[in-house]
Structure 1
Amino acid sequence: MSESAALARSHELSSPTPDPDTIPVARPVAGDVCRGIMRLFARNDIWCLPEMPLRNGRRADLMGVDAKGRVVIVEVKVQRGDLMGDGKWPDYLDHCDRFFWGVPPGLDRGPLDSEEYRPDCCGVIVADGYDAEIVRPAPLHPLAAARRKVEIERLSRAALRRLTVAADPECAAWGTGDIA
């Protein structure tokens, strides 16, 4: 038996045998949470783009515009450690009229009720890969009109560039790709 075959065999023997009475549970993935939120938003005439770069160097997990032209940002967290360690989220507030946390159904939402996470200005959406529910609405904190215009123009340009590159990948070479 070769050395690699022996190593593979020893790994098989040392691997724990799964308990046949245990049903494996898939861990939530940020993409699933985003998908559920995008479905909720689409039903409510809010159209959004994932992974939207902001002018301050941050990247919104979801950024969209509602039917009244208000900008919405969602920061998605699927693990408690990621939620507790996120100190950058206040940087998003200057770029939106409404801010939401997006979390999977099993995540403890207790920390989001603490003053540190400013429940007075942040909503909460619980989502999986199929649907979502707003469990705490996000209060409206209107952007200045000039700021809103800039954010919507940047979002529009990013969406149009992504659509163009999806239709013709050769177009990716033109433009900066950076939505300034």
Structure 2
Amino acid sequence: MNPAQPLLEPSLTDGRQSATALRVQRGVMRYLRSVHDMTCFAEVPLRNGRRADVVGLGCKGEIWIVEIKSSLIDYKVDAKWPHYKEFCDRFFFCKPPELDAGIFPEAEGLMVADGHWGDIMRPAAHDPLPGARRKAMMLKLARLGADRVHALMDPETRREDLF
């Protein structure tokens, strides 16, 4: 490392999230951790090139994906959300309290969250992952979590694919 260059502080976000989305993310992750005993990962790159906003991993290996929608425009311009469903057992949208719940498809799970807490408004269908896909996701999450902790401990070794 060049001593003249300042060390960059590692970040837990990739800079693309709005302030509202970050508040919703915080609340939904607190909720999943406290109520459902899930370990949560934010901004998880998936094998199909998509990036899940929040992935929750339960103590029995269940995987939930939560797609955060911070505004009506955010929801309307997003056509990629169906591609997340092949990587989880349950799929949810999550919205801030001020966003109308009626815009979301009734067939999908729905959560609400603010910067402090969250809750499930509508349960998600359970569609269990095939064994090989579950194993691939578990390995992905284990490696991603370890890489992110390592990047926080030693910023000089940051990998570009952490977010």
Q: TM-score, normalised by structure 2?
A: 0.83
Matching of residue 158 in structure 1 with residue 150 in structure 2: no
Shift of 1:63: 1.0
Report matched runs for 1:13-92 at 5 Å: 29-43=20-34, 44-92=36-84
Question: C-alpha offsets along residues 96-116 of structure 1, whole Å, 9 cap, x if unaligned?
Answer: 11101010001011121xxxx
Say which SS state the counterpart of residue 101 (structure 1) adopts.
strand
Residue in 2 that maps onto 1:132: 118
Shift of 1:149: 0.7
Residue in 1 that maps onto 2:109: 123
Letter in 2 for 1:71: I
Matching of residue 105 in structure 1 with residue 97 in structure 2: yes
Within 2, Cα distance between the matches of 1:28 and 1:79?
11
Within 1, Cα distance between the matches of 2:54 and 2:81?
13
Moved runs in structure 1, 4+ residues, more than 6 A?
none
Within 1, Cα distance between the matches of 2:19 and 2:113?
10
Q: Highest Rg: 1 or 2?
A: 1
Within 2, Cα distance between the matches of 1:42 and 1:159?
15
Residue in 2 that maps onto 1:8: none
Within 1, Cα distance between the matches of 2:88 and 2:127?
8
Shift of 1:85: 2.1
Q: Are 1:105 and 1:128, in contact at CA under 8 Å, matched by a contact in 2? A: yes
Letter in 2 for 1:32: R
- Unaligned stretches of 5+ in structure 1? 1-26
Q: TM-score, normalised by structure 1?
A: 0.76
Equivalenced residue count is: 144
Question: C-alpha offsets along residues 3-54 of structure 1, whole Å, 9 cap, x if unaligned?
Answer: xxxxxxxxxxxxxxxxxxxxxxxx9610000000010011121111100000
Shift of 1:168: 1.1
Question: C-alpha offsets along residues 98-154 of structure 1, whole Å, 9 cap, x if unaligned?
Answer: 101010001011121xxxx3x33x211100000001111112100101100101110
1:168 to 138, 154, 157: 154
Higher relative contact order (CA 8 A, sep 6+): 2
Q: Are 1:28 and 1:104, in contact at CA under 8 Å, matched by a contact in 2? A: no
Identity %: 44
